[in-house]
Amino acid sequence: MRFEFFPILIKLIDACNDLSVQVHPSDEYALKYEGQYGKTEMWYVVDAEEDAKLVYGLNREVSKEEFAELAKGPELISVLNFVPVKKGDVFFISSGVIHAIGKGLLICEIQQNSNLTYRVYDYDRTDANGNKRPLHVEKAIEVAKLAPEPLISDRTVFFENEDVSVENLATCEYFVVDKIILNGKYTLIPDGSFISVTVVDGEGKIGSLCVKKGTTVFIPADAGETEIEGNLTALSSYVK
């Protein structure tokens, strides 16, 4: 395999409050200045409360100087692009895109295996000792796309019949994510990669394992055919 370490992380993020506004550097920048890889990720909205929103990029172009000034306080909110979301929405977040998960969202995040994040704004919150979380505004300005970022909504249906639909949600050099909507049976066949299956709705079985919403099953690359059955929706994550 071409990766130096296991290539992806998969998280379920249950946001009871607005999470901090962040941006991730590219591999090139991160390797040069941090000695580690950057981060590209995607979000699948598992559940969303009414009127839930998230931040995806900016609502207008700004200069580095203006952004630095706005980032000194809550005025930054005025240039963030807040996007209303619903269950089933997908967002691909490449390095450089400013983003934040809003309260009332349950997100399945599939990401490049990296913990490198530059925090831009945290709503002036403090911990029990009155301390604010550290910000990384100077670094963020160096890597952020300071203009509106178009939402990527292209999807490709790979396979569909009366029992199953398999739709590609994201493909990049770090991961591939497909959405499986199943009411019956479907066979997964690894093709040189592991497959990580995360159930985001419904229930059923993967191989001999009973699964339900929130379950993730890891299928090794050499596992051979694995049957999924039930009435469920799942995200299948792998690498090419």
The catalytic site residues sit at 119
- pLDDT of 55 higher than 60: yes
**Is there a contact between 206 and 141 (Cβ–Cβ < 8 Å)?**
no
pLDDT at 153: 66
The structural domains of the chain, with segments of one domain joined by +, span 8-143, 156-238
**Is there a contact between 43 and 106 (Cβ–Cβ < 8 Å)?**
no
Kind and range of the H or E run holding 37: none
Q: What is the CATH number of domain 156-238?
A: 2.60.120.10
Ranking 28-32, 50-54, 130-134, 229-233 by mean pLDDT, the lowest is: 130-134
pLDDT at 175: 96
- pLDDT of 99 higher than 90: yes
- Distance, CA of 239 to CA of 228 (rounded, Å): 20
Would you say domain 8-143 falls under CATH 3.40.50.2300? no
